[in-house]
Amino acid sequence: MKKLLSLIIPLFLFACKDKTEKLHPLYSSISESVYASGSIKSKNQYLAFANAAGIVKSIIVNEGDTVKKGSPLLFIANDVQKFSKNNAELAAQYADIAANQGKLNEAKLLVDLAKNKLKNDSALFARQSVLWKKQIGSKVEFEQRELAFQNAKTSYISALVKYEDLKRVLALNSNQSKTSLQASSALESEFTLKSEINGVVYSLLKKQGELIGPQTPLAVIGDASVFILEMQVDEYDVFKIKTGMPVLVSLDSYKGQVFDALVSKIYPIMNDRSKTFLVEAKFEKAPPRIYPNISFEASIVIRSKEKALLVPRNYLIGDTAVLKSNGEKVRVSLGLKDYQKAEILSGISENDELQKPKE
């Protein structure tokens, strides 16, 4: 029995030794990348908000409709504002210069009459002055002519001042009423929600008859011709990223496929809550069909090499050494690394056989 056990133990040790994983380093391509996740947004996608309080009177678009910039999406009812605009229109009509032209004509006629009387009294006074110098006529007649001339002069100046004042008052009233009408019209326009871009109505957030207030979100609008990949990148990785770097994108909607994109923008402020930076990328060739808010995972390729001497990362000892098949521990220098492999810069060659370290 002892002889049998002595034979089994060496065989078991030999079998365990044979099960030790071994391999030779291989030359292949490798890429170092930064992981990111996010969601897809259409270009210029935005939430359309209400600017005034009221009730949704009517919705004239459907979800999925294409709209032009400035085209109405829905109307908000507010009778008080409607009455205010009507009053402003009436006031503008009443105060309009053309509507008050009769008053100006009347004032101008009084100016002309006063001017003609001044001319006549001025001529009579001048004639009487000549006669008085020749001692013709009485002093009373001379003084009466002088007084009439001065009164006519005063009346003319007064009529002229009143005419100019009336012009200014009418012009002021007209401008003020027009400004009030413009303000009322502008306020009324806030009761019509319009699209700010050429795009697609992705979502309508309220229904007809619902009461809304200022800054209530009413719709989601976006440009369906271009989609943006919005990624959240960890603060420790963001400084490795530059615009133009390639991005490998995986979508749950297209399982098993990888889409190419390029980093297009890096926002220079960190989200305090998530400790991440927002990074945007654009598809080089977008999927056949895509919608906003689809989630994705991505790898932003920082560096890549077509031919590198690679070993699996689980063959490394502390990222500083490897174990040869003869049990010798060798220090190595590493280059690029991904999630599974690492590049060997020095320490071993493709001819060396390595064994996987024990965990």
Reference 41, options 214, 232, 209; nearest CA is 232
Q: Which pLDDT belongs to residue 68?
A: 94
Q: Which pLDDT belongs to residue 233?
A: 94
DSSP tally for the chain: helices H, then strands E: 4, 19
The answer to pTM > 0.85 is no
**Top-tier CATH class for 20-30+305-355:** mainly beta
Residues of the chain with pLDDT under 70: 1-19, 78-100, 179-190
Residues 6+ apart with CB under 8 A from 335: 305, 308, 342, 343, 344, 345
In the β-sheet with 316-317, what is the strand arrangement from edge to edge? 316-317, 321-323, 329-331
d(CA 322, CA 302): 25
Q: Write down the domain spans for the chain.
A: 20-30+305-355, 84-189
Q: Which pLDDT belongs to residue 47?
A: 92
d(CA 173, CA 161): 18
Q: Which pLDDT belongs to residue 214?
A: 82
Q: Which pLDDT belongs to residue 11?
A: 29
Q: Which pLDDT belongs to residue 189?
A: 58
Helices of type H across 72-138 = 79-95, 101-133
